[in-house]
A and B are shown apart, each in its own frame.
Chain A
Amino acid sequence: MKSIWTGSIGFGLVNIPVKMYSASQESSLGFDMLDKSDKSNIRFKRVNEKTGKEVKWENIIKGYDLNGRYVILDDTDFEKASPKKTKEIEIDQFVEESQIDSIYYEMPYYLEPMKTGIRPYALLREALKKTGKVGLGTFVLRNREHLVVIKAIDDILIANRIRFAEEIRKPDISVPAATNKPAELKMAVALINQLSGKFNIAKFKDTYTESLLKMIKAKAKGKAIVSKPLRVAHVNTKDLMEQLKASVEGTGKRKKAS
């Protein structure tokens, strides 16, 4: 597993050097976009708005529109904006986790202590467990500031990114008032109680992806299957080899001539 961030957790006078790893992974199937007519892969191009010509990645830079004029920024500028926050999660406050609404939660990350961080890591973990609280702090990852909850689960510390207040929309939907009959409410409560149990995530499986994959495999056995993109790549490779050979032969001739 490759760490996505290295830095430290700052907590009072204690500094804990850690590596951060992504704690989640995608479980959905990936689909390729194809042209209906010949099943070629669809490619996206980044084009210059003026010339319409494709622009290479290496020639693409980032600019911020400041009152109609672009200010150009490079990687070092992003770091310079907040040198401390790019390398440190400063815990400003500890709160009860139940006070944080689930609407704020985003990506979870695992935190691994580096050599010099082993003892302070354990210290923070045990202190969090003892108080039943979680830490709140901010740091910068990939040019963006994030708010995180630091909490202890078993032997590890987890940083869970949470949204800032301004990232949550006002509920601009309509929920007209309605009255409940006491008997109905009583029944609904009874139903909830009947279906209540202990939370066990292992009981829930992503069955849609599974059945989708089954369907794809079944379709592949039938005749509707379309040639794999790998084969397409092979044709391209072959073409490229021929072109290159012609080009190399050209080079050879020129050399002999000179």
Chain B
Amino acid sequence: MPSRIKKADETDTELKVGNTKVALSNLHKIYWPVEGYLKKDLVDYYVKIADYILPYLRNRPMSLFRNPDGIKGFGFYQKDIAGKAPAFAETQKIFSESTDKDVEYVICNNKATLVWLANLGCIEMNPWNSQLENLDAPDYLIIDIDPSEGNSFDQVMETAKVVKSVMDKAGGTCHCKTSGATGIHVYIPMGKKYKYDQVRDFARVLASLVQEQLPDFTSLERSLKKRGRKNIYIDFLQNSRGQTLASAYSLRPKPGAPVSTPLDWNELKKGLLPTDFNIKNIFKRLEKKGDLFKPVLGKGIDLRKCLTKLGA
């Protein structure tokens, strides 16, 4: 049994995670006002999901997105954790070209660190696509299917399926998860074999091929103004060093406390909603389905072969 916060009446307390004590504070703060979920529910979630989520955070620098007053409060990004991390949390200094200085990133390699991050108000867990051993070569390529307000989730699913069909044609695998908000993320394992710019170029190729097949409601145009309210943005630009996206099993600071949930391709059927999976019901699903996202960290595709099959 995972450790749980025991006393419901305690708002500031300590949680023993293995042999490590993690200080917790303001546990009674309301984080999801409509549902009445507290900060305690957030911490509980990450305690329980730790075994599932940690493999996707391991050895990856994290951008923290903190919502210390819950989803209706003000959220802010924090990368540099210099001097603020407790002894049990690993950190890594990485030189940032844009600011011309070292940034000390949190590396979430254990449950205690995960719990500490939750206590900082991190509802979302945002890891890099690459790991410390080779920060320039991502484990996977991401196509972020991001709808506009005029799109249905059925259209989002259709777009994801076309990504799958293009990858089928290319002879490579791909896997999908709900973003937890309104979209779907498709991940293609790259096995740390290629550099970010190559991965990004391939993502652009895929996105263009998908867009050509769905010209009526997809676009490669990032700006909402130019793309219009009826077009899904097929975002291939999530594949750069330092860029982060909510990981599998990450909660999102949205109403209903949705979880970014890996799906089987045959689950993409009319009627499925991105809000179907949340902080409360995800565990039942995981008992049945297990971790569907494992292959994403496994053997990567052969980019040369894929390009040949696509006609290059």
Q: Which residues from chain A sit less than 8 Å from chain B, CB to CB?
A: 1-4, 6, 17, 21-22, 25-26, 30, 57-59, 75-76, 79-80, 83, 87, 114-116, 230, 233-234, 236-238, 240-245, 247-249, 251-252
Expressed in whole angstroms, the Cα–Cα distance for A194 and B310 within the complex equals 69
A245 touches B34 (CB 8 A): no
Can you give 7 A-B contacts (C-beta < 8 A)? A26-B228, A234-B208, A234-B212, A244-B201, A245-B307, A248-B303, A252-B304
Does B289 make an interface contact (CB < 8 A)? no
Please give the distance in Å from B69's CB to the nearest CB on chain A: 10
A244 touches B312 (CB 8 A): yes
On chain B, the residues within 8 Å of A79 by CB distance are: 74
B205 touches A237 (CB 8 A): yes
Q: Which of B76, B148, B215, B311 makes the CB contact (< 8 A) with A241?
A: B311
| B 215-226 binary contact with A (CB < 8 Å = 1; else 0) | 100001010000
Please give the distance in Å from A210's CB to the nearest CB on chain B: 18
Expressed in whole angstroms, the Cα–Cα distance for A115 and B147 within the complex equals 24
B74 touches A245 (CB 8 A): no
Give 11 new A-B contacts, CB below 8 A, not counting A1-B150, A241-B310: A2-B182, A6-B72, A57-B222, A233-B220, A236-B208, A237-B212, A240-B201, A240-B205, A241-B307, A244-B202, A244-B205
A240 touches B308 (CB 8 A): no
Please give the distance in Å from B71's CB to the nearest CB on chain A: 9
Expressed in whole angstroms, the Cα–Cα distance for A242 and B310 within the complex equals 11
Known contacts being A2-B147, A241-B311, A248-B198, is A233 close to B208, with CB within 8 Å?
yes
| Residue of A with least CB distance to B97 | A59
Expressed in whole angstroms, the Cα–Cα distance for A17 and B255 within the complex equals 12
Expressed in whole angstroms, the Cα–Cα distance for A249 and B304 within the complex equals 7
Known contacts being A230-B215, A245-B307, A252-B304, is A238 close to B312, with CB within 8 Å?
yes
Expressed in whole angstroms, the Cα–Cα distance for A116 and B255 within the complex equals 13
A245 touches B76 (CB 8 A): no
Does B299 make an interface contact (CB < 8 A)? no
Which DSSP category, helix, strand, loop or mixed, fits chain B's interface? loop
Q: Which of A30, A233, A243, A249 makes the CB contact (< 8 A) with B211?
A: A233
Please give the distance in Å from B146's CB to the nearest CB on chain A: 11
The 5 closest A-B pairs by CB, nearest first: A2-B149, A241-B312, A237-B208, A245-B307, A76-B76
Does B209 make an interface contact (CB < 8 A)? yes
| Residue of A with least CB distance to B303 | A248
Give the interface residue-count category, chain B.
35 or more
Expressed in whole angstroms, the Cα–Cα distance for A237 and B312 within the complex equals 10
Expressed in whole angstroms, the Cα–Cα distance for A238 and B201 within the complex equals 12
| Residue of A with least CB distance to B302 | A248
Does B58 make an interface contact (CB < 8 A)? no
Does B229 make an interface contact (CB < 8 A)? yes
B307 touches A115 (CB 8 A): no
Please give the distance in Å from A121's CB to the nearest CB on chain B: 14
Within 8 A of A (CB), among B197-247: 198, 201-202, 204-205, 208-209, 211-212, 215, 220, 222, 228-229
B148 touches A2 (CB 8 A): yes
Please give the distance in Å from B213's CB to the nearest CB on chain A: 10
Known contacts being A59-B98, A244-B198, A251-B198, is A237 close to B304, with CB within 8 Å?
no
Expressed in whole angstroms, the Cα–Cα distance for A25 and B228 within the complex equals 10
Please give the distance in Å from B52's CB to the nearest CB on chain A: 29
Does B194 make an interface contact (CB < 8 A)? yes
Expressed in whole angstroms, the Cα–Cα distance for A172 and B308 within the complex equals 66
Expressed in whole angstroms, the Cα–Cα distance for A245 and B307 within the complex equals 7
A233 touches B212 (CB 8 A): yes
B307 touches A248 (CB 8 A): yes
B304 touches A21 (CB 8 A): no
A25 touches B312 (CB 8 A): no
On chain A, the residues within 8 Å of B48 by CB distance are: none
**Most chain A CB neighbours (cut-off 10 Å) among B208, B255, B308:** B208
Please give the distance in Å from B124's CB to the nearest CB on chain A: 15
Does B29 make an interface contact (CB < 8 A)? no
Within 8 A of A (CB), among B158-198: 182, 193-195, 198
On chain A, the residues within 8 Å of B229 by CB distance are: 22, 25
